[in-house]
Structures are given as C-alpha cells and as structure tokens.
Amino acid sequence: MEALLIHPENKEQLKAVKAILKAMKVPFQRQDVDLPEHVQKSIEKGLAQAHQEQTVSFEDFKRNHFVK
C-alpha cells in the first residue's frame, strides 16, 4: 500500500485534513518536525517582510539575479 506525506501550510489545513481522515477511518500518526534554528529564523524574517510588504516579484528577482 502507498503512504502519503502531507504538508499543511497552517493550523486550519491541518485540522481539516485530520477531520477528513478521521471521518474516512483512515489511520494516521502524528510526527513533529523540528526545523533547524537558522531555518526557523529565516522563515520568521520572511514572514515579517511579507507583512511589511517588503517583497519582490519573481520576475524582478529573475531579472536581477540570473544571468541572461
């Protein structure tokens, strides 16, 4: 049988996935994922920048950082 690894992006998605699995009587197990501290800090920094609207479009990023 095939197994799935699911990556919910927030608590609401996690709650919905768990509810669906329980309703369908699909067994699942919880596994905590610990990110390295430097990764967690980078995520927090990026989220703070996004909330302050300090973002760059992907097109601008490609234009500025990739050789043509």
What pLDDT, on the 0 to 100 scale, is given for residue 32?
84
For 49-60, what is each residue's pLDDT tens digit?
999 999 999 999
Q: Which helix (H) or strand (E) holds 64?
A: helix 58-65
What pLDDT, on the 0 to 100 scale, is given for residue 18?
96
What pLDDT, on the 0 to 100 scale, is given for residue 35?
85
What pLDDT, on the 0 to 100 scale, is given for residue 14?
94
Domain-embedded: residue 58? yes
Domain-embedded: residue 20? no
Whether the Cβ atoms of residue 51 and residue 57 lie closer than 8 Å to each other = no
Q: What would the mean pLDDT of 10-24 be, rounded to a whole number?
A: 95
Count of structural domains, the chain: 1
Domain-embedded: residue 2? no
For 19-58, what is each residue's pLDDT tens digit?
999 999 999 998 888 889 999 999 999 999 999 999 999 9
